[in-house]
Structure 1
Amino acid sequence: MRITPATELTRRIQALQALMQAEGLDGMLMMQNADLFYFTGSIQQGLLYVPVSGEGLYLVRKDYTRARMECGLKEVHPLKSPKDLPGRLSDFGYPLPQKVGMELDVLPVVHFQRMQKILGDCAVVDGTPLIRAVRAVKSKYEIEIMKDAALMVDKVYQRAKEVIRVGMTDLELAAELEFTARKLGHQGITRMRGFNSELFFGHIFSGADSAAPAYLDAPLGGLGVNPSIGQGASYKRIERHEPITVDFAGAFDGYLVDQTRMLCIGGLPDELMKAYDDMMAIQNRLKQIARPGAVWGEIYDECYALACEMGYKDHFMGSSGAQVSFIGHGIGVEVDEYPFIARGFKEQKLEEFMTFAFEPKAVFPGLGAVGIENTFWVGADGLKHLTFSDESLVIL
Structure 2
Amino acid sequence: MRITPASELSARTQKLQALMQGAGLDAVLMLQSADLFYFTGSIQQGVLYVPAAGEPLYMVRKDHGRARMESGLKEVVPFKSPRYIPEVLADFGYAMPKTAGMELDVLPVGLFGRFQKVLEGCVISDATPLIRTVRAVKSDYEIEILKDAALQVDQVCKRAREVITVGMTDIELAAELEFTARKAGHQGLTRMRGFNSEIFYGHVFSGADSAAPAFNDTPLGGLGLNPYVGQGASYKRIEANEPIIIDFTGAFDGYIVDQTRVFCIGGLPDPLAKAYEDMLRVQDLAKEIARPGVAWGELYDRCHDLACEMGYADHFMGAAGAQVSFIGHGIGIEVDEFPFVARGFKDQVLEDKMVFAFEPKAVYPGLGAVGIDNTFWVAPDGLTHLTFSDQELAVL
TM-score, length of structure 1 as denominator length:
1.00
Aligned to 1:272, the other structure's residue is in SS state helix
Unaligned runs of 5+ in 2: none
Counterpart in 1 of 2:8? 8
Q: What pairs with 1:25-64 in structure 2 (closer than 5 Å)?
A: 25-64=25-64
Structure 1 residue 130 displacement after superposition: 0.1
Q: Pairwise mapping of residues 210-289 of structure 1 onto structure 2 (< 5 A)?
A: 210-289=210-289
Q: How many residues align?
A: 396
1:233 Cα deviation (Å)?
0.2
State yes or no: 1:383 paired with 2:383: yes
Gaps of 5+ in 1: none
Amino acid at match of 1:366: G
Within a 5 Å distance, the mapping from 1:130-279 to structure 2 comes to: 130-279=130-279
**Which amino acid is 2:278 matched to?**
D
**Correspondence for 2:362:** 362
* CA distance, structure 2, for counterparts of residue 45 and residue 164 of structure 1: 42
Match in the other structure for 1:21: 21
- How far did residue 40 of structure 1 move? 0.2
Deviations 1:282-312 (A, max 9, x none): 0000011100000000100000000000000
Q: SS at 2:383's partner residue?
A: strand
For residues 118-172 of structure 1, give each alpha carbon's deviation from its aligned partner in whole angstroms, at most 9, with x where no partner exists.
1000000000000000000000000000000000110011001100000000000
* Structure 2 partner of 1:76: 76
How far 1:80 moved relative to its partner? 1.0
Match of 1:345 in 2: 345
Q: Could you tell me how far apart the structure 1 residues matched to 2:207 and 2:79 are? A: 53
CA shift for structure 1 position 247: 0.2
Q: After TM superposition, which residue ranges in structure 1, 4 or more long, deviate above 2 angstroms?
A: none
Tell me which amino acid in the other structure corresponds to 2:125. V
The 2-side partners of 1:181 and 1:152 are apart by 6
Q: Deviations over 1:243-269 (max 9, x none)?
A: 000000000000000000000000000
Offset of residue 380 of structure 1: 1.1
Q: Deviations over 1:320-343 (max 9, x none)?
A: 000000000000000000000000
Q: Which moved more, 1:123-132 or 1:78-87?
A: 78-87
Distance apart, 1:175 and its partner CA = 0.3
2 CA distance for matches of 1:176 and 1:96?
53
Instruction: Tell me how far apart the structure 2 counterparts of residues 117 and 340 of structure 1 sit (CA, whole Å).
Output: 35
The secondary structure found in structure 2 opposite 1:305 is helix
Q: Which letter does structure 2 place at the counterpart of 1:245?
A: I
Deviation at 1:81, TM superposition (A): 1.1
2:91 is matched with: 91
Task: Show the counterpart of 1:303.
Answer: 303
Report what 1:329 is aligned to. Answer: 329
Q: Distance in 1 between matches of 2:95 and 2:152?
A: 46
2-structure distance, mates of 1:11, 1:23: 19
Q: Take 1:116 and 1:235, find their aligned partners in 2: how far apart are those partners?
A: 48
Structure 2 counterpart of 1:43, one-letter code: I
Give the letter for the 2:172 counterpart: E
Distance 2:186 2:394 in 1: 25
Once residues 184 and 359 of structure 1 are traced to their aligned partners in structure 2, the CA distance between those partners, rounded to angstroms, is 24
Q: What is residue 103 of structure 1 aligned with on the other side?
A: 103
